[in-house]
Structure 1
Amino acid sequence: MIAIGLTLVCIALIWYSKYRPNKTQEQTTFKEDEDELSEIFNRAIEVVSREKYFLNKSLKLSDLAKEISSNERLLSRSINRFSNGNFNKFINSFRIEHSKELLTGGQFDHYTIEAIADECGFSNKVSFYNAFKSETGMSPTQFRAVKQSN
C-alpha cells in the first residue's frame, strides 16, 4: 500500500515538473504583450496628433483601432496601460491641449468658450468644462484670464 502511494506521488511530481507553466515563457509572453501594447499606443498617439483625429466629435474607439490597423480590445488595453485613463480621457487630453492653444493664441480671443469647445471636438459645453477643469484645475474662462494677464 505504501509502495503504491509513493509511486503515485512520484508520478504526480514527474507530471507536474513536465507540464507546469514555464515562468520564463510567461515572462517572455508578458514582455511581448507589453511591447505590442506600447507599439499600438504610440501609433494611436501619432495618428491622433498628426491627423488631428481628436477634432472629430463622433470619434469612437473602433474608428481609431481601424485607422491604426489594430483591434478595439488591444487599443483599449494600450490606452488604459500607458495613459491616465480610458479612451475618452485619452482623446480629451488632446482636445484640452488644443483648446489651451486656442484660448491663449490671440487670434481666437473673440471666440466664446462654447465656440472653442466646438473647434476642439467637444460635442457640448458641459463635457468641455468638466474635462478642462479636471485636467487643468481651472475653468476655461479662468485659464484664459490668467494667461491674458501674464
Structure 2
Amino acid sequence: MRKLIRHFFSANSHQPRQYESALETKYVKSGLTLQEAAEIKEKIKTAFEHDKLYKNNDIGLNDLSRHICSDRYKISQVINEYLSKNFYSLLSYYRIREAKDLLLSQPFLSVKAIMYEVGYSSKTSFYSAFKKETGLSPNDFRNLSIYAS
C-alpha cells in the first residue's frame, strides 16, 4: 500500500513540470516579452473587472482580443502562462465571483435572474460552474450565508 501511495504522489509531483514544459514548447515562437505580457494582463483585468466583459453570454477570445486591441494568441498565452487558466475558466471565475456578490447583496433577486445577469444563458452550465467554484449550489450558498450571519 505504501508503495502505491508513494508511486501515486511521485508520479503526480512531475505533472507541473510537464505542464510548464508543454507551455514552453507551445509558445516558443510567440515573441511575447515580459513587458508586453504585463500590459496585456492589465488590459485583461480591466476588461473583466471594470468593463465587465464577462456579462456578454456570447463572448469569446476573439471578442476579448478586439476589446483590448491585442493579438488573440498573445492574450491566450498570457491567460495560460500568467493567470494559470484558460479563457473559459477565467470567464467562469469572474462570472461566479459576481454571482456570489449578487446572491449576498440582493437576496430579492432570483437565482435565474442572477444567472442571466452574470452572462450565463444555461441553468445547467451556471449551476455546474457555481458548484465547481464554491462546492455549493447557488441556493445553498445564499442560505448558508444568511444563516451564518
Compared CA separation, residues 115 and 135, structure 1 to 2 (3 A): same
Letter in 2 for 1:101: D
In structure 1, the residue matched to 2:21 is none
Compared CA separation, residues 72 and 110, structure 1 to 2 (3 A): same
Any idea what SS the aligned residue of 2:33 has?
helix
Aligned length: 120
In structure 2, the residue matched to 1:124 is 122
Q: How does 1:43-82 map to 2 (within 5 A)?
A: 43-82=43-82
What's the CA shift for 1:88? 0.9
| Alignment partners' CA distance in 2, 1:138 and 1:82 | 28
**What do residues 2-29 of structure 1 show as CA deviations (whole Å, max 9, x unaligned)?**
xxxxxxxxxxxxxxxxxxxxxxxxxxx9
| Alignment partners' CA distance in 1, 2:147 and 2:38 | 40
C-alpha contact (below 8 Å) 2:30/2:74 kept by paired residues: no
**What do residues 33-89 of structure 1 show as CA deviations (whole Å, max 9, x unaligned)?**
233223212211112211111111111111111111101111111111122421111
In structure 2, the residue matched to 1:92 is 92
**What do residues 123-144 of structure 1 show as CA deviations (whole Å, max 9, x unaligned)?**
2111111111111121111110
TM-score (norm 1): 0.73
Any idea what SS the aligned residue of 1:121 has?
coil
Moved over 2 A (4+): 29-35
C-alpha contact (below 8 Å) 1:84/1:90 kept by paired residues: no
| Alignment partners' CA distance in 1, 2:108 and 2:55 | 20
C-alpha contact (below 8 Å) 2:54/2:119 kept by paired residues: yes
C-alpha contact (below 8 Å) 2:80/2:86 kept by paired residues: yes
Letter in 2 for 1:47: A
Structural RMSD (CA): 2.0
| Higher radius of gyration, 1 or 2 | 1
**What do residues 97-126 of structure 1 show as CA deviations (whole Å, max 9, x unaligned)?**
111111000xx3232222211111112111
| Alignment partners' CA distance in 1, 2:138 and 2:90 | 19
Identity %: 32
C-alpha contact (below 8 Å) 2:96/2:130 kept by paired residues: yes
Letter in 1 for 2:88: N
Letter in 1 for 2:145: K
TM-score (norm 2): 0.73
In structure 1, the residue matched to 2:35 is 35
| Alignment partners' CA distance in 1, 2:80 and 2:32 | 17
| Alignment partners' CA distance in 1, 2:37 and 2:74 | 7
